Amino acid sequence: MTRKYFGTDGIRGRVGEHPITADFVMKLGWAAGRVFSDRAGNDRKMILIGKDTRISGYMFESALQAGLIAAGVDVGLLGPMPTPAIAYLTRTFNAQAGIVISASHNAFHDNGIKFFCGQGRKLPDDVEMEIEAALDKTMVTADSAILGKAHRIADAAGRYIEFCKGTFSRYHNLKGLKIVVDCSHGATYNIAPNVFRELGATVEEMGVKPDGFNINYDCGSTHPEALQHVVVNVEADIGIAFDGDGDRVVFVDHNGELVDGDELLYVIARERHARGKLDGVVGTLMSNYGFEKALDDLQIPFCRAKVGDRYVIESMEDNSWQLGGESSGHIICSDLTTTGDGIVSALQVLRAVVTTGKPLADLKKEMSKYPQIMINVKASTDKLAGNERIAAAVAETEKTLGKRGRVLLRPSGTEPVVRVMVEGEEEALIQPLVKQLAEIVKEELS
């Protein structure tokens, strides 16, 4: 199916450039309202809207609200809320859908719109295609007698905080732990510190003063350097950093060392495996080979999905597994919630710390990350799959590595680039291999 607007994670772009404009977003709200109204029939029609803290959120919140009301749909306004909170609240309010205004880890000048269905999951392809088809129609305002109404949901933050706390073991607490929390001046700023504090931790806050422009700026999960410095300076046990919309998380151990998504997923998997509560784990094509090997040592089944949480969740469902995630820190615990949730994932890591009595630095040592080198080659990607010389070069590289590494050639989904990646036990081994392979790709496809 050819899409005009929707990507793998909603619609995203630079504010003021089509389609991230006020007029388009208003019509998007109307189109979504019409589609969900038709699907709901005579049932109550309500859609929730939440946003992160970037300045353009005010504009797009109003635009969506106008479009939905024109379509005859009631609107529940959540204000600044993490993306996973909007998924959760969409379910609990029995809404037809939830809409998130966010560009996740991007800078403030970008924004985007993404949707959750009534079950708190990302929209099926057929619904996205229906919305795209409705966007091509003339916008017609519903009769005044059936226009929608809007109201602000005042207790949204409290509801979500209680939900997050409920995903932590009721037999344990965080007393005695000193945690530094970096909220990236984003959507978790008034949520995450309260969750950890109410579970008993001593909390130092960072990135909790959003001004509309500073979201993700030199802070949060994409820029954890300041957090690493603070954790060491205040002698904290752990640092936790979220991205702008709160669906990703990375940690810092007490030594100030970064703990990425693969390592966090391993810590969660190992703790669940010890309790007999794990069937398998889904990673992605970019998951570190050391992660796969560490799971294999524990005899935990593992498979790789394409990059993107949508594909991770699909693979989890296909295998009937409840744990998966990406190196970026996007972790899904489907037994607890329907989408990647930074706070819920962080609590699962903290559960492992509390129940084992070991510092995070020790828990992550049980997995050894392999060196990973990637070279981006500017090239036409459409002939990659059928190129015999490249296929032969990949096979030869894999033969050289044996069981000590792996090779990945991945076309970019957004630009004419082939990502050439080689992993192995030793950097000295993989450095010449990745250079040689990248050169062949360049010669064949440029």
Q: How far apart are CA 110 and CA 216, in angstroms?
A: 11
144 is catalytic: no
DSSP 5: S
Considering Cα of 316, then 300, then 306, then 360, what sign does the dihedral take?
positive
DSSP 52: -
Tokens of 342: 């930074």
Report which of 65, 53, 81 is spatially closest to residue 22, judged by C-alpha positions: 65
Dihedral (C-alpha) 62, 68, 74, 77: value to the nearest 10 degrees?
Answer: -30
**Identified catalytic residue from 37, 56, 102, 104:** 104
Return the bridge partners of 410, or none.
419
Q: How far apart are CA 305 and CA 282, in angstroms?
A: 7
Report which of 211, 243, 208 is spatially closest to residue 224, judged by C-alpha positions: 243
Q: How far apart are CA 98 and CA 339, in angstroms?
A: 13
Tokens of 302: 């593992």
CB atoms within 10 A of CB 144: 6
Q: Which residue has the tokens 């010449």?
A: 432
Sequence-distant (6+) residues with CB within 8 A of 144 are none
Q: How far apart are CA 427 and CA 302, in angstroms?
A: 25
Tokens of 438: 């990248």
In the sheet that 249-252 helps form, which strands lie side by side, from edge to edge?
202-206, 178-182, 238-242, 249-252, 258-259
The amino acid that residue 215 corresponds to is I
Sequence-distant (6+) residues with CB within 8 A of 115 are 10, 32, 97, 98, 99, 100, 122, 123, 127, 128, 131
Report which of 30, 27, 113 is spatially closest to residue 68, judged by C-alpha positions: 30
Q: How far apart are CA 350 and CA 168, in angstroms?
A: 9
Q: Which residues are marked as active site? A: 104
